[in-house]
Amino acid sequence: MDSRPSLGSLFILLGLISLLVKCYSSSEDNMKTYIVYTGKIINDEASSLIIYQNMLNQVAESNSTSKSVLYHYKRSFSGFAAKLTVEEARRMAGLDGVVSVFPNEKRQLLTTRSWDFIGFPEYVEREYNEYDVIIGVIDSGIWPESESFDDKGYGPPPSKWKGICQSSDFTCNNKIIGARYYRNDYGEDFLKNNILSPRDTTGHGTHTASTAAGNPVSRTSMLGLGHGTTRGGASSARIAVYKVCWSDECQDVDILAAFDDAVIDGVDILSVSIGGKSDDSIHFMDAFSVGSFHAMKKGILTVLAAGNFGPKSSSLTNFSPWAISVAASTMDRKFVTKVKLGDNKIYEGTSLNTFDLQGELWPIIYAGDAPNKEAGFDKDSSRNCSANSLDIKLVKGKILLCEDRIGPSEAYRVGAVGVLVQGQKSLDTANSFPLPGCYLHSKDAAKVHKYIKSRRNPVATIFKTYESNDTLAPMAASFSSRGPNNATPEILKPDLTAPGVDILASWSPMSPISQFHGEKRKLEFNIVSGTSMSCPHVSGAAAYIKSFYPTWSPAAIRSALMTTAKQMSPEKNHDAEFAYGAGQVDPMKALNPGLVYDADEEEYIRFLCGQGLDMSMLLQITESIINCSERGYMIPRDLNYPSFAFKVQRPKHHLNASSKRTVTNVGLAMSTYRAFVTAPKGFNISVTPDLLSFTSLGEKQTFILTINGKMKKSIGSASLIWDNALHGHDMLLSWCSFVQDQSIAWHISKTLGSIFTCP
252: helix, strand or coil = helix
Question: Is 727 known to be catalytic?
Answer: no
Which residue in 490, 392, 558 sits closest to 707, CA to CA? 490
User: Which helix (H) or strand (E) is 381 found in, with range?
Assistant: helix 379-382
Of 48, 204, 261, 271, the active-site residue reads 204
Greatest C-alpha distance within the chain: 114
CB 729 within 8 A of CB 710: no
Of 64, 532, 534, 559, the active-site residue reads 532
Q: How many other C-beta atoms are found inside a 10 Å radius of the C-beta of residue 559?
A: 30
User: Which helix (H) or strand (E) is 567 found in, with range?
Assistant: none
Which residue in 308, 649, 651 sits closest to 482, CA to CA? 308
Question: Is 378 known to be catalytic?
Answer: no
Of 132, 139, 444, 598, the active-site residue reads 139
φ/ψ of 17, rounded to 5, equals -60, -45
CB 182 within 8 A of CB 117: no
Cα dihedral 44, 46, 48, 53, rounded to 10, equals -170
Side chain identity, residue 587: P
Residue 523: CB partners within 8 Å, gap ≥ 6?
222, 223, 507, 509, 513
Alpha carbons 63 and 85: distance in angstroms, whole number: 11
CB 435 within 8 A of CB 415: no
Residue 612: CB partners within 8 Å, gap ≥ 6?
none
Alpha carbons 275 and 279: distance in angstroms, whole number: 12
Residue 358: CB partners within 8 Å, gap ≥ 6?
none
Alpha carbons 683 and 668: distance in angstroms, whole number: 34
Question: Is 294 known to be catalytic?
Answer: no
Q: Judging by DSSP bridges, how do beta strands 654-665 and 683-688 pair with one another? A: unpaired
CB burial string 50-61: b at 16+ within 10 A, e below: ebbeebbeebbe
CA distances from 628 to 73, 248, 258, 276, 613 (A): 27, 43, 31, 30, 9
CA distances from 220 to 331, 351, 507, 511, 527 (A): 18, 19, 12, 18, 11
416 - beta bridge partners?
Answer: none
CB 731 within 8 A of CB 564: no
Alpha carbons 333 and 352: distance in angstroms, whole number: 13
453 alpha carbon, distance to own chain's centre: 43
**Catalytic residue set:** 139, 204, 532
